[in-house]
Amino acid sequence: MVVIAFIKGWHKLVHFKPEATVLTTKVSILVAARNEAKNIAKTIEDLIAQDYDRELTEIIFIDDHSTDQTAEIISSYASRGVKLIRLNEDRALNSYKKKAIQTAISAASGTLIITTDADCRMGTSWLKTIVSFYEEKKYKMISSPVAYFEEKSFFERAQTLEFLYLIGLGASTIGNKKPSTCNGANLAYERDAFYEVGGFKGIDDLASGDDELLLHKMAARFGDAIGFLKHSDAVVYTHAKATLKEFIQQRKRWASKSTRYKNKSIIVLGVCIWLFNLSILVNVGLGAFNAFYFNLALVQLLAKMVVEWLFLYDVTAFAKRKSLLVLLPVLNVLHILYIVYIGIAGNSGKYNWKDRMVK
C-alpha cells in the first residue's frame, strides 16, 4: 500500500512546461566544497555556462577547510564572477556543511537560493528551468531531481537504480502534499523563507540534514508551498560510490537524519518499511523449520518486487534509464539486507564524512 501511494504521488506531479517569458529573479547558487580538486572545475564550468542572465546570477563557493587545491581552483575563476568564501571556524563543529551554507546565505544577494554539490554536473538550461518553475508556481522551496551517471560497474549501476527509487520517493511525497525527503545537490528556496523558519536552528548540531530537515521546517511553516520540478533539464548529475565502504558511510549519514524528524508520520512510514523488510528475513529464517514461513517470505518478496517495478517503471522512464530495471530482482534481495542494516547502523554511532568522524 505504501508504494502504491508513491505511484499515485508521482503521477500527481505534472511535467513542467516552461513559458517563454522574461525571467527577473536574482539567484544565488551556493556550493560547499571540501577536498574536491579533482571534480570542482567541471562543476564551476557548468555553472558559468548557464543560459541565464549573468546580472541575475551569483555563484558562491564555500571552501570547508580543504587540504588540497580546491580553494586555489575556485579562486582562479574570480575574474569570471565566481566568489569564494573560506570557512575559518577555529572550533570543532559537527555540521560544517550547514555552517558553510548559512555563512554563504548571509553574504548572498539573491532572492532565490539554490544549492548543489561540488562534484555535480548540469546542463545549460538547469538554472533557467528552476527559475521558470519558481516564478510560475511561487513555491517557497523547490526540490529538483538528482541522478547518477557514468557508472563503471554493476555495483554503481545498482546504486543508480536504488537512488532513482529514493529520488522518486521524495518526489511522490511532495506530490501527495506530505514532503518527506529531498536532496541538497539540487535544492532551491527563498532566502527570506530560510530566515523565516529560523534557518538551521534546532538542527545545526547534526552533521547531515541541510536538505531533508530544512524541508520539514519549510513544510511545517508553509504547508503546500513545496514543489518538485519534474523536467529533464532540471536534473543534476553526480557519481555513485565506487566502493561498498563509501556507500555504507553515505547511507549511514542519510539515515542518521531520521532521529530528528518532527513529523511523526514520516517516522512511522520509515519504521513500517523497516519492519516489513525485517519480517522477510525473519520468515526466511523460520522457513528452515516450517515451509509456511518460507513461502510467506517468497510472497512478500514477490509483492515487493511487483509494486516497486511499477513505481520504478515510471521513474526510470523519466530519467531515461529503463534498462536498469533488469537489475531489480537482484537489487530487491540485496535491498532487504541493506534496509535492515542501515536502519540500525544509521541511528547509532558515528560515520565518516569528508575525512571527519561525525554523528
Is residue 232 included in any domain, yes or no?
Answer: yes
Residue 76 in domain:
yes
Distance CA 30, CA 107 (A): 11
pLDDT category of residue 264 using cuts at 50, 70 and 90? low
Cβ–Cβ under 8 Å, residues 189 and 234 = no
For the cut 70, the answer to whether the pLDDT of residue 94 exceeds it is no
In a domain, 43, yes or no: yes
Distance CA 352, CA 246 (A): 9
Buried b (16+ CB within 10 A) or exposed e, 180-192: bbbbbbbbbbbbe
Residue 356 domain-assigned (yes or no): no
pLDDT per residue over 187-230, tens digit each?
999 999 999 999 998 887 776 678 899 999 999 999 899 999 99
pLDDT surpassing 70 at residue 357:
no
153 part of a folded domain:
yes
Residue of 147 and 359 predicted with greater confidence: 147
pLDDT of 359 above 60: no
In a domain, 350, yes or no: no
Q: What is the pTM of this model?
A: 0.90
Using one digit for the tens of pLDDT, what is the confidence trace for 116-147?
A: 999 999 999 999 999 999 999 999 999 999 99
What does DSSP say about strands 236-238 and 121-122: parallel, antiparallel, or unpaired? antiparallel
Query: DSSP state, 91?
Result: S
pLDDT of residue 269: 75
Q: Is residue 169 part of a domain?
A: yes
Residues with Cβ < 8 Å from 114, sequence gap 6 or more?
27, 28, 29, 30, 127, 130, 187, 188
Q: Is the pLDDT of residue 349 over 90?
A: no
Predicted confidence band at 169 (pLDDT cuts at 50, 70, 90)?
A: very high
Q: Name 147's bridge partners.
A: 237
Residue 15, domain extent: 2-260
Helix pair 264-286, 2-12: axis angle to 10 deg: 140
| Residue 253 predicted with pLDDT over 60 | yes
Q: Give the single-character DSSP code of 259.
A: G
* pLDDT tens string 27-67: 999 999 999 999 999 999 999 999 999 999 999 999 998 99
Nearest to 143 by CA among 120, 165, 171, 124: 171
Four-CA torsion 150, 117, 129, 266, nearest 10 degrees: 100
pLDDT of residue 191: 97
Mean pLDDT of 180-187: 94
Least confident of 33-47, 170-184, 260-274, 293-307: 260-274
Asked if residues 217 and 198 have their Cβ atoms less than 8 Å apart, the reply is: yes
- Segments in 110-224 forming alpha helices (H): 126-137, 154-175, 191-196, 212-222
Indicate which CATH number applies to the domain containing 67. 3.90.550.10
CA dist 253 and 209 (Å) reads: 9
Residues written for the chain = 359
> Are 112 and 28 contacting, i.e. CB atoms less than 8 angstroms apart?
yes
Residue 280 forms part of a structural domain: no
pLDDT at 258: 67
Across residues 321-333, what is the average pLDDT? 93
Does pLDDT of 355 surpass 70?
no
Count up the domains in the chain and report the number: 1
Per DSSP, the residues of 158-176 read HHHHHHHHHHHHHHHHHHT
